[in-house]
Homo-oligomer: A and B are copies of this chain.
Amino acid sequence: MTVSSPVKPVTQLYRARQGEITPQMARVAEKEHVTGAFIRDEVAQGRLVIPANIGHGNLDPAGIGEGVTCKINTNIGGSPIRSSAEEELRKLELALALGSDAVMDLTVGPYIRDIRRTLLSRCPAPLGTVPVYEAIEQVDNPEDLTPDLIFSVIENQAKDGVDFMTVHAGLLRAHVPMAVNRLAGIVSRGGSLMARWMVCHHKENPLYTDFDRLLDICRRYDVTLSLGDGLRPGALADASDEAQFAELKTLGELVLRCREADVQVMVEGPGHVPFDQIAMNMQKEKEWCHGAPFYILGPIVTDIAPGYDHITSAIGATMGAFSGAAMLCYVTPREHLGLPNLEDVRQGVVAYKIAAHAADVARHRPGARDRDDRLSAARAAFRWDDVFNLSIDPQRARMMHEESHVRKEDIRKEFCSMCGEKHCAVKMSRSVRERLKDEG
C-alpha cells in the first residue's frame, strides 16, 4: 500500500471488499437482473466498476464489466470552433433518451467548467471527463502545464461530482519514439499533449510519476479511473504495434496500483484495428490488465469511410463486445471531419446501442433476445405501433414507415411500400399457415 492518505476510502471497491452490498450495487443488480452479492463480488475482484462519485447527487448507477450487459458511452462537448452549453444539453438529452449508459463531456475551450457543471446537474448517467482538457485551457502551451495544475484540476472536477476520468498515465517517455513515426502518429488529444510535455521537459509523465496523488483524490471521492490509451492506433497500419502494446502493459501495472489503493479502474482500448485483430486485442487486455473492464473506442475496421465512421466502428465494437469489452465509446458519422451535431449524435448512439445489444444476444446474456422476439412477433402480426415502440429509435422508425407511403390511408396497414399488398411475404406466409391449419 503506497497511498499516504489517512482518510478511509469511500469507494465501491473498498466497500465491496468489506463485504458490503451498497445501495449502488443493489441498484445495478436490479437493473441487470442478478443478485446484489454477484455484483459485490464482481466489484471486489475489480472485474466490474460502478462509477459513482459521492458528489453526483442525481446519479442512477450503472455497472460496467464483462459479467453484465454491455454498456455504451456518448461523447459530447463543444469545441472553440462550434457549439454552446445549450446545444450540448440537447445532445445529452437525446443520448439519454436513446439509452446511452454513460456520457463523457469532452468540451475544449473556455467554457469547459460551466458546461460540465450544467451537464452534471442534468445527467443521471455516470459522467466522465478528460481533466487535461481543462488544465490546458489555463496555459498557453502544453509545456507550460505543471503537475500541480493538473492535479488541482482533477481535484476540482472530483469535487464537482465527475464519476470517471480519463488519464493518460501509462504513456511513458520511452514510448514516444515508438509512436511518432507511425503512419498516423499519436491521435489521442490527451496522449499527444502528454507526449509534447515529456519531450519538451525531458521528464517522465507526471501522471505516472505522481500516480499516488491521483489515487489519493480518487479514493476520497470515488472517482473511477479510466486509463487512457494515448497511443491508440489512428490508422489500420498502426494497429497492434509496439507503441500500443508497450502502453497497454504499463496500464496493466497501473491497474494493480489502483486496486491496491481501493480505486476503481477500467482500461481504454483502440482505435483503428482490422477486424481479424480485434479478438486478439481484447484477449491481451484481459490478460495484461488483470481482468479490468475494457472500455473501447470502436474499433474502426477501415480507414476509407469518413462520413460513415459510426458504421465502420459499430462493426468493430460488436466484435469487441462479443470478445469481452465491457463498454463501447460511440463514434459519430462526423468523426475525423468535424464536431458532431445533434443528428450525428443520434446516428452514433443508435449504432452503438445496436453493437452492444447484438453482442449481448450473441453472448446469450439472460433475456437479451426477449425484445427482439417481441418486436418480431409484432412485425409478423402487423402491430406497427408495437414495432415502433420496441425499436431503439421509435421516432425514426415511425417516420420512415409513414413517409414512404404515397397514400395516407395505407399507413399501418397489413403491408408496406416495399412490396405492396399483393406481394407481401408476411401476409402470404400467414395464408399458408392458415391453409395448412384448415387441412389439419
Contacts and interface: CB of A to CB of B under 8 A. Distances in A.
B338 A417 contact: yes
Contacts of A341: 404
A392 B302 CA distance: 11
A439 B358 CA distance: 50
B136 A187 contact: no
Contact of A432 (B199, B308, B430): B199
Interface in A114-138: 133, 136
A400 interface: yes
Which secondary structure dominates chain A's binding surface?
Answer: helix
B180 A436 contact: yes
A91 to B, nearest CB: 14
Given A235-B372, A361-B236, A410-B81, A315 B314 contact: yes
Contacts of A200: 435
Contact of A237 (B373, B388, B396): B373
Interface string A181-201: 101111111011101100110
A207 to B, nearest CB: 17
Contact of A315 (B199, B276, B354, B422): B354
Interface in A274-298: 274-277
How often does this chain occur in the complex, in copies? 2
B376 A236 contact: yes
Interface in A371-396: 371-373, 375-377, 379-380, 387-388, 390-393, 396
The 7 closest A-B pairs by CB, nearest first: A338-B404, A235-B376, A185-B429, A275-B362, A192-B428, A180-B433, A276-B362
Interface of A: 79-82, 108-109, 133, 136, 142, 176-177, 179-181, 183-189, 191-193, 195-196, 199-200, 234-237, 272, 274-277, 301-308, 310-312, 314-315, 318-319, 322, 333-339, 341, 350-351, 353-355, 357-359, 361-364, 369, 371-373, 375-377, 379-380, 387-388, 390-393, 396-397, 399-401, 403-407, 410, 416-420, 422-423, 425-426, 428-433, 435-436
